[in-house]
Amino acid sequence: MVEPERHPFLEGLSKHRGAPPTVVVIFGASGDLTARKLIPAIYNLSYDNLLPAEFHLVGYGRKPIPDEEFRSMAAKAIKDFSRRELDSDIWGRVAANTTYVSGGYDEKAGFDRLASHIRAIEGRVGSEVQSLFYISTPPSVFESIIANLGSSGLGGRYLGQTHHSKVIIEKPFGMDLDSARLLNGTLGSVFEEGQVYRIDHYLGKETVQDLLVQRFANAIFEPLWNRNYIDSVQITVAEDQGVGTRAGYYEQSGCLRDMIQNHTTQLLALTAMEPPGSFEAEALRDEKVKVLKAIEPVALGPDGDVARAQYAAGMLAGKSVPGYLDEQGIARDSATETFAAIRLSINNWRWHGVPFYLRSGKRLPRRVSEIAVQFKRPPGTIFPSKDGFNLAPNTLSFQIQPDEGLGMVLNAKIPGLETRTQPVKMSFRYATTFGSNTPEAYERLVLDAMIGDGTLFIRGDEAETSWGLYTPVLQFWKSEGRRGMEAYAAGSWGPAAADRLLAARGHAWRQP
């Protein structure tokens, strides 16, 4: 058996953040997310000794799968997708308590079987065990799973005053404001808000949490973090992949729903929120909701605040790739955007007049997520403006992924007998400072939900506030059909419309 690695991120975790005895039930356990993220996350938590001594894993799905086969599927998922190799002793500890229950998501009898299965586990353990239900199915069955968790009594289990059941719900949380409200209503009829953990896996990323540490553990930033010193903020979530095999899902979703409404807006909220009174879930989420509520309604139409486009054929990494409309499973007249850019204004004292530019897209030159805070230029300069003089605005950039880190662009004197300047970059890289074996977002999130810490999850009102902002845009685009839809070559940084959005305020996108 391998010794658990000592890793600075994990120091002290096992001592201070113990989860109670838990049974994790995954709905949709034969699916892609379970194999790629959830099983590897559970394995790595076991590797780091962060699972409770009494830990049970139950898969649930429509297809009958014998326990042994589910364990083999899980072992294969670890081999294929875990950041650490499969160690048979470590996996064996989890596998010994891994079982499968088959049943429909709308079949009450299936949930009754699940309830008996959990009671049988508790019988063997000799006490009650908290249940964490992870809904990892397509959203079409979210509602029936929640309703059946209610009708089978699984959703409302208590031990004394403490909730004994929790639910993690995957994205997308609704398709617009109405459907998000409906889903919140269904959740609210079975669970209390404190039992509900809405996933945005971006919040589980180390670099996203580091953004809070940088902002609130370093005194130098706060005095500058406002409209007096900051000129604009750019948030980019770029993918190099095309739609791939997910055409069915993507045609219903599009970039605004898939990336902007959740991940990109979460990055904005963490960048722009006021300092919370504590690092408690409610304190942090209150501040996020407050800043989202301060965002002004988005202007639509020509010269409005939004741009959308679809990728056309182009070259990426030396290969030619087809345009969106030529991808398999995509309608020739599809009006689904693969790129969206948006200009947001926050109407509060800190941010009045500072544009926040958000963009995301598929088939961009590389996969990168970044927040770039651009500071105002110095008021005048003592340095002569002549050839070789190149005064750049200071920019603080948080690289969320890949090559996680933080960079600051400063102006420096080029060595020599003349005074010539050049922008230089000071940077901190996670991999060089802390080593590269960083925990995956899902490890942190599954552990937090087991412990009962909702800080890195989305609260119901937060999901609705975010949808409230973007639903008018979705409705407008729907009414426009393909009118105003631009194209951008695959492998480029997006359409001309996105450049115009910034140029209107004297800005330009930076190359992340």
Residue 156 burial by CB count (10 A; 0-12/13-18/19+): exposed, middle or buried? middle
Can you say whether residue 271 is alpha, beta or left, with left for phi > 0 and alpha for psi between -120 and 50 degrees? alpha
Pairing of strands 162-163, 165-169: unpaired
Backbone angles phi, psi at 268, to 5 degrees: -60, -45
Do 358 and 344 form a contact (C-beta atoms < 8 A)?
yes
Instruction: In whole angstroms, give the CA distance from residue 391 to residue 386.
Output: 11
And the tokens for 268? 């904005």
- Minimal CA–CA distance to 47: which of 14, 71, 25, 81? 14
Output 276 or 439, the one with its CB closest to ligand NAP.
439
What is the nearest approach in angstroms of ligand NAP to the Cβ of residue 59? 8
What is the nearest approach in angstroms of ligand NAP to the Cβ of residue 138? 5
Of the listed 117, 201, 263, 507, which one is catalytic? 263
- Minimal CA–CA distance to 191: which of 449, 10, 417, 427? 449
The DSSP element (H or E) to which 50 belongs, if any, is none
**Three-state SS at 443:** helix
Output 107 or 480, the one with its CB closest to ligand NAP.
107
Output 259 or 289, the one with its CB closest to ligand NAP.
259
The residue ranges that bind ligand NAP (CB under 6 A) are 28, 30-34, 36, 61-63, 105, 136-141, 170-172
**Location of structure tokens 């005194």:** 219
Output 249 or 389, the one with its CB closest to ligand NAP.
249
The neighbour count for residue 238, using CB atoms within 10 Å, is: 21
- Minimal CA–CA distance to 346: which of 269, 282, 285? 269
Output 31 or 407, the one with its CB closest to ligand NAP.
31
Do 200 and 169 form a contact (C-beta atoms < 8 A)?
no
Rg over alpha carbons for the chain, rounded to the nearest Å, is 24
Output 252 or 320, the one with its CB closest to ligand NAP.
252
What is the nearest approach in angstroms of ligand NAP to the Cβ of residue 113? 14
**Three-state SS at 309:** strand
What is the nearest approach in angstroms of ligand NAP to the Cβ of residue 156? 24
Output 231 or 239, the one with its CB closest to ligand NAP.
239
Tell me which long-range contacts 324-329 makes (C-beta under 8 A, separation of at least 24): 324/242, 324/243, 324/362, 324/363, 327/242, 327/243, 327/247, 328/247, 329/243, 329/247, 329/248, 329/251
What is the nearest approach in angstroms of ligand NAP to the Cβ of residue 304? 29
Sheet holding 55-61, edge to edge: 98-102, 55-61, 22-27, 130-135, 165-169, 196-198
Instruction: In whole angstroms, give the CA distance from residue 168 to residue 85.
Output: 27
Catalytic: 7?
A: no
**Three-state SS at 312:** strand
What is the nearest approach in angstroms of ligand NAP to the Cβ of residue 339? 19
Output 172 or 468, the one with its CB closest to ligand NAP.
172
What is the nearest approach in angstroms of ligand NAP to the Cβ of residue 219? 37
Residue 458 per-residue DSSP state: B
Output 61 or 314, the one with its CB closest to ligand NAP.
61
- What residues contact residue 392 under an 8 Å CB cut-off, 6+ apart? 409, 411, 423
Sequence letter at residue 412: A
Residue facing ligand NAP at closest CB distance: 31
What is the nearest approach in angstroms of ligand NAP to the Cβ of residue 141? 5
What is the nearest approach in angstroms of ligand NAP to the Cβ of residue 137? 4
HSE-CB of 2 using CA atoms within 13 angstroms: 15
Output 367 or 482, the one with its CB closest to ligand NAP.
367
What is the nearest approach in angstroms of ligand NAP to the Cβ of residue 375? 34
The dihedral built from the CA positions of residue 32, 33, 39 and 40, taken in this order, carries a sign that is positive
Show which residues are catalytic.
263
